[in-house]
Chains A and B, each alone.
Chain A
Amino acid sequence: SQKIEQNSEALNIQEGKTATLTCNYTNYSPAYLQWYRQDPGRGPVFLLLIRENEKEKRKERLKVTFDTTLKQSLFHITASQPADSATYLCALKLNAGNMLTFGGGTRLMVKP
């Protein structure tokens, strides 16, 4: 079946280091992929969108890559800060409709 996989284990890193989160998907070839941030008890907030013809997208300290051959997106936060601690969700279309399907998210903990 079609699905999205994100590492369910929390990622713990030291402040100032680069955090790298992974999103893998199966079967379908989406035209784009989105990343969201979700803080505890809050709704997700959109961060970045990357299209299938874009290998890399940057926004301030954030960088997203999209490898349609590997069916994988990597989400990087450089010079991480404790305020970056949150759960990060990837989302994409898994079928011909327009609806987004979300991954389960990876929790990032940045320690001072």
Chain B
Amino acid sequence: DAMVIQNPRYQVTQFGKPVTLSCSQTLNHNVMYWYQQKSSQAPKLLFHYYDKDFNNEADTPDNFQSRRPNTSFCFLDIRSPGLGDAAMYLCATSPRGAVGEKLFFGSGTQLSVL
């Protein structure tokens, strides 16, 4: 089945040690998103790609970066994780990014920072 796959499901890193989370999709969707969700809170959009066009949310910290080398893959890099970055990171896709399109989410990566 076509889907959005995130790896790993659980990631433990040390304070200040760079970490990369990955996302792949077999849906051939044009738009890919990264959301951060802390416990019992709303998913918060960090950035998104329209194809290769990168769009950063105004309040996304510089510590967070992203790469999309091709249509299928997208990466979230956290350059120097702090304790406050511990969260679930959700990757999502949508076909064209048009108004009203639903999002297709992966299962998320739960990041712990020690």
Residues of A that sit less than 8 Å from B by CB: 4, 8, 31-32, 34, 36, 41-46, 49, 51, 89, 91, 93, 98-105
Contacts and interface: CB of A to CB of B under 8 A. Distances in A.
Contacts of A46: 102-104
Interface of B: 4, 6, 35, 40-45, 48, 88, 90-92, 97-100, 102-108, 110
Given A41-B110, A42-B108, A43-B90, A4 B102 contact: no
B42 to A, nearest CB: 4
B97 A98 contact: yes
Contacts of B102: 34, 46, 49
A74 to B, nearest CB: 19
B92 A43 contact: yes
A6 B97 CA distance: 25
Nearest to A93: B99
A99 B103 contact: no
